[in-house]
């Protein structure tokens, strides 16, 4: 792992940058991230959608041609996190007044006082705004409810928004209600990246875990979020808020430790590519790799050096035994078919699924490709992760694609299951054990994302 200063790479072995002798070495200091005698310079880097130039580093010999000053990312970067899709929503701002406005024109619809709960719903391409008793409170002089596409809910400065269908969850930033059908809308939280990460870190990793693991997780999560922010700029949101992307719980998951960790790693991201042209990549991670991480190609369709599989002897030591090696699961064939059709309706063309064969496995036991055969003779293929995602329910806890599959006649038997999650990238429990053994955050990131570089984005 390298931290890139100007046009130079400072190797950990030579410079010990971000290593055990640095100011933010894990467990040593919670002060500034980089506290060298003279701060060399901010990192210069290239990321899809961000054209950073490279600055010569003060105190470091310049190259013959002096580069321009870096154009770093602004510190007020926002992430658009999808929360839920519904046709009605409860909204409140307990501490501050808040405004509902037309997103397109920014015209105010209604200002509501702190603690005043309202309900927004959408029916036949029309918005309805009511109070707790169901009384219509849409102002007569506001933009017409049937002419508004999207609504923004904006609290006064430093306010929080409580939102939900039944249970209310609290978030920083503002809400964007995006109409996506005549009778439904998507609820999106638009929030600054650092506040967002505090709500991710607390949801993704226990806060009592070693600081090195928390810092590595935070950097991976920031990289992941910014990568999808860049690649989803034309969509209504950047990233989800569940385990299908990365968990985000808002204010309820913020703690002093999660906020401190975000601050300590502020702006640090992982990147990969030719020197001087490094780009963000999706820094995937999962709970328990089961002894060996998985290549990204059979799971996500991308072949990147930092997302190649590697041996992981660490998670076995600290992972819950029932998750590292999970119990046998028996799945009735009729239920298995229903779950597959619910997830992938196109499989209906197979009629009744009569056979599932493993076509390809990783050297370490993960299903990479399976072939489904229908009663009409037609065939279709799924990845191991697609099969696992379809069959996973609270009652059928198939935690990963690392298992053996057996046909018992009336059911599918899944046994020898290892790991929890897709297994690509950082292993969360593995990082915990590495930190317990005294490895720092850079060691962890270097191990799980080989050939990546550590850069400062802002």
> Residue 145 has what pLDDT?
85
> Long-range contacts of range 170-174, CB-CB < 8 Å, 24 or more positions apart?
170/94, 170/250, 170/251, 170/252, 171/83, 171/199, 171/250, 171/251, 172/199, 172/250, 172/251, 173/78
> Residue 73 has what pLDDT?
58
Nearest to 412 by CA among 403, 423, 424, 420: 403
> Residue 395 has what pLDDT?
86
> Residue 143 has what pLDDT?
86
For the chain, 458 residues long, give each residue's pLDDT as a single digit of tens.
433 322 223 233 222 223 333 334 444 333 333 332 222 233 333 333 333 322 222 332 233 222 222 335 556 899 999 999 999 999 999 999 999 999 999 999 999 999 999 999 999 999 999 999 999 999 998 888 888 999 999 999 989 999 999 999 999 999 999 998 899 999 999 999 999 999 999 999 999 999 999 999 999 999 999 999 999 887 899 999 999 899 999 999 999 999 999 999 999 999 999 988 999 999 999 999 999 999 999 999 999 999 999 999 999 999 999 999 999 999 999 999 999 999 999 999 999 999 999 999 999 999 999 999 999 999 999 999 999 999 999 888 999 999 999 999 999 999 999 999 999 999 999 999 999 999 999 999 999 999 999 999 99
List the chain domain ranges.
Answer: 88-182, 197-285+424-456, 321-418
Q: Whole-angstrom Cα distance, residue 219 to residue 270?
A: 7
Structure tokens at 306: 């930092």
CB-based contacts of 446, cutoff 8 Å, min separation 6: 1, 12, 452
> Residue 40 has what pLDDT?
27
Give this prediction's pTM. 0.83
Which stretches does DSSP call E strand in 231-345? 268-272, 279-280, 285-286, 325-326, 329-332
């Amino acid at each position: 792992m390298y931290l890139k200063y100007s046009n130079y790479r400072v190797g950990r072995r030579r410079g010990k940058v971000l290593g055990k002798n640095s100011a933010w070495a894990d467990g040593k200091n919670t002060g500034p991230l980089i506290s060298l005698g003279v701060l060399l310079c901010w990192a210069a880097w290239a990321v899809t959608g961000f054209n950073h130039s490279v600055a010569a580093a003060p105190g470091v010999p310049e190259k013959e041609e002096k580069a321009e000053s870096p154009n770093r990312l602004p510190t007020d970067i926002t992430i658009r996190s999808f929360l839920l899709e519904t046709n009605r929503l409860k909204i409140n701002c307990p501490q501050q007044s808040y405004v509902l406005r037309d997103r397109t024109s920014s015209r105010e619809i209604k200002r509501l006082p702190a603690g005043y709960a309202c309900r927004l719903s959408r029916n036949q391409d029309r918005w309805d705004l009511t109070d707790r008793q169901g009384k219509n409170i849409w102002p007569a002089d506001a933009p017409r409810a049937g002419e508004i596409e999207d609504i923004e809910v904006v609290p006064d400065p430093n306010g929080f928004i409580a939102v939900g269908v039944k249970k209310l969850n609290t978030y920083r930033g503002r809400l964007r209600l995006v109409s996506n059908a005549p009778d439904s809308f998507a609820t999106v939280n638009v929030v600054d990246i650092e506040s967002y990460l505090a709500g991710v870190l607390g949801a993704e990793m226990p806060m009592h875990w070693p600081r090195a693991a928390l810092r590595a997780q935070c950097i991976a999560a920031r990289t992941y979020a910014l990568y999808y922010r860049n690649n989803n700029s034309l969509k209504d949101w950047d990233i989800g808020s569940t385990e299908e992307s990365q968990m985000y719980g808002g204010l309820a998951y913020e703690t002093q430790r999660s906020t401190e960790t975000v601050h300590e790693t502020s702006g640090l991201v992982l990147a990969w590519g030719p020197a001087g042209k490094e780009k963000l990549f999706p820094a995937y991670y999962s709970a328990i790799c089961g002894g060996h991480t998985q290549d990204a190609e059979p799971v996500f369709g991308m072949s990147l050096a930092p997302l190649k599989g590697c041996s992981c002897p660490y998670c076995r030591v600290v992972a819950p035994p029932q998750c590292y090696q999970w119990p046998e699961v028996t799945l009735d064939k009729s239920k298995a078919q229903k779950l597959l059709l619910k997830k992938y309706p196109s499989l209906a063309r197979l009629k009744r699924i009569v056979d599932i064969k493993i076509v390809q496995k990783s050297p370490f036991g993960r299903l990479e490709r399976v072939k489904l055969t229908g009663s009409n003779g037609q065939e279709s293929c799924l990845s191991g992760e697609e099969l696992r995602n379809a069959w996973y329910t609270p009652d059928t806890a198939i935690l990963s694609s690392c298992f053996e599959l057996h046909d018992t006649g009336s059911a599918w038997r899944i046994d020898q299951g290892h790991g929890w999650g897709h297994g690509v990238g950082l292993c969360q429990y593995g990082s915990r054990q590495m930190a317990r053994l005294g490895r720092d955050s850079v060691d962890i990131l270097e191990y799980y994302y080989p050939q990546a570089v550590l850069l400062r984005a802002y």
